[in-house]
Amino acid sequence: MSIVTSWRPRRGRNVELLLLIFAVAIVVLAYVSVEGATHGTIPANLATMAGGLLAIAVAFHLVLRFTASYADPLLLPIATLLNGLGLVMIHRLDIAEGRSITGGMALRQLTWSALAVGIAIAGLLWLRDHRTLRKYTFLAGACGVALLLLPLLPFVGREVNGARIWIGIGPFTFQPGEIAKIALAIFFAGYLVRTRDVLSIAGPKFLGMQLPRGRDLGPILVMWLLSLAVLFFQKDLGSALLFFGLFVAMLYVATERIGWITIGLLLAGGGAVIAWMLFGHVQTRVLLWLHTWTPEALAASDQLAKGLMGMAAGGLFGTGLGRGRPDITYFAESDFIVSSFGEELGMTGLFAILMLYILLVERGLRIAIGVRDGFGKLLAAGLAFSVALQVFVVVGGVTRVIPLTGLTMPFLSSGGSSLLANWTLVALLLRISDQARQPLTDMAATGPIPTVGARR
């Protein structure tokens, strides 16, 4: 007669620590390569830089070890490596532009990185159960919309490069739409858990697909109009695409009906045509996308052409860190940091970076599968999909798969608001994964699992 016992999965904290040390070692090696190629010496502050980065990573690891011991062991090393590589490339561009360490972008990015990690740690210590966020569903939705509209206010709103997506108080600027992404994901998860049974009711069939009922189209039409409002008033194509795509993806995950995907694609296509007909900056981006090398496109902007030529110069294995000229491309540290890596690390190095993002998204989707409550499933899936969509939009724009949108690469690109949002996103995934990987016998302390909206 066999005895059935509860299987306890490995927590993975020791594996996480080893991967963190490996990630920091790769970042330090990249930093030494940049300094060696540009200055011909090993940097004098190498020990301080390596020790500081390792201390930040280990501090986060210790918080996980004592407050979320079952959290996914791969998320933190991946985020640390991506953030560190972004710092190295921004420092390399500072050198190319002749900026000093104190006056360059790398020091500012490092400061934002430390602040973002600190906020993520504070979030983990405060949020002991992700299901608590479900109580604030509509508050999160109101905050998300308010953050989207904040740049439209007089005095605080700032228009940068034709897009009004920034707020500024004195020398301090911030992009609230990055935080709105997380707030709206929480709202979508809480809303869809409550309403997905109604949204799943079958409607008419068309070309073999089961479409939703006409009376249930209200939510997706509201999100479509909100995305068009963001595009019209803020002239921000990337954010409009991200928010609408996030809602449609979470709607599909909640209802498992492909008809919502079909309607979403049709509305997105219609919105793109309307935007192309009404807005000159959208027409310019389509021109750059379809006719990059024509005199008309080059007269409008040669940014995309320079980025493509830089990646072509990198070839398969790249010119080497510190040996290319990524600074020739405009905004090489933000919008076009992907082309900067493509030039100096080549297609091989760029594929390795993209594999890190694929692993990050895969772990997020795995968390969504493993967590036991409907709200957590939708929230984890939405957060993972937002990273996937943002990476696709950025890389697709730089490589001419789709028009440029103005979004930045998560963790890599220069920008404090993006770092704050993405480290908070990782903290939420870590908290959800802690409960997803816990044995049932260990979940008594976290309270009963809500059955509202649970699928069988």
- Other Cβ atoms less than 10 A from the Cβ of 153: the count is 9
3 state DSSP class of 393: helix
- Which pTM was predicted? 0.90
What pLDDT sits at residue 454?
40
Token pair in block for residue 373: 């409550």
What pLDDT sits at residue 225?
80
Pairing between β-strand 209-212 and β-strand 202-206 as defined by DSSP bridges: antiparallel
**Alpha-carbon span 247 to 267, nearest angstrom:** 13
**Vertex 212: Cα angle to 210 and 213 (nearest 5):** 125
Task: Assess whether pLDDT exceeds 80 at residue 210.
Answer: no
> Which H or E run includes 356?
helix 337-370
List the strands of the sheet with 163-169, edge to edge: 157-160, 163-169, 172-174
Token pair in block for residue 319: 């010119």
Q: Read out DSSP for 6-23?
A: -------HHHHHHHHHHH
How far CA 150 is from CA of 50, 59, 228, in Å, comes to: 38, 34, 16
What pLDDT sits at residue 224?
77
**409, 350 contact by CB (below 8 A):** no
Phi, psi (5° rounding) for residue 139? Answer: -65, -40
User: Quick one: average pLDDT of 24-49?
Assistant: 88
Give pLDDT tens digits for 109-142. 998 999 999 999 999 999 999 999 999 998 998 8
User: Quick one: average pLDDT of 325-354?
Assistant: 93
Q: How confident is the model at residue 204 (pLDDT cuts 50, 70, 90)?
A: low
3 state DSSP class of 169: strand
Q: Which own/partner contact pairs does 152-161 have at CB distance under 8 Å and 24+ positions apart?
A: 152/233, 152/234, 161/406
**Alpha-carbon span 28 to 135, nearest angstrom:** 43
**Alpha-carbon span 81 to 273, nearest angstrom:** 39
**Polymer length of the chain:** 456
- Tokens 């220069």 correspond to what residue? 414
Query: Please, what is the angle between helix 46-67 and helix 75-96, to 10°?
Result: 160
Task: Assess whether pLDDT exceeds 80 at residue 340.
Answer: yes
Task: Assess whether pLDDT exceeds 60 at residue 4.
Answer: no
**449, 372 contact by CB (below 8 A):** yes
What pLDDT sits at residue 1?
40
**Alpha-carbon span 112 to 108, nearest angstrom:** 6
- Tokens 């009004």 correspond to what residue? 164
Terminal Cα distance for the chain, rounded = 31
- The runs of H, that is alpha helices, within 235-302 are 237-255, 258-278, 280-290, 295-300
3 state DSSP class of 165: strand
Half-sphere exposure of 116 (CA within 13 A, CB side): 27
Mean pLDDT, rounded, of the chain = 85
Sequence-separated (6 or more) residues with CB below 8 Å from residue 124: 63, 64, 67, 68, 427, 430, 431
Task: Assess whether pLDDT exceeds 80 at residue 447.
Answer: no
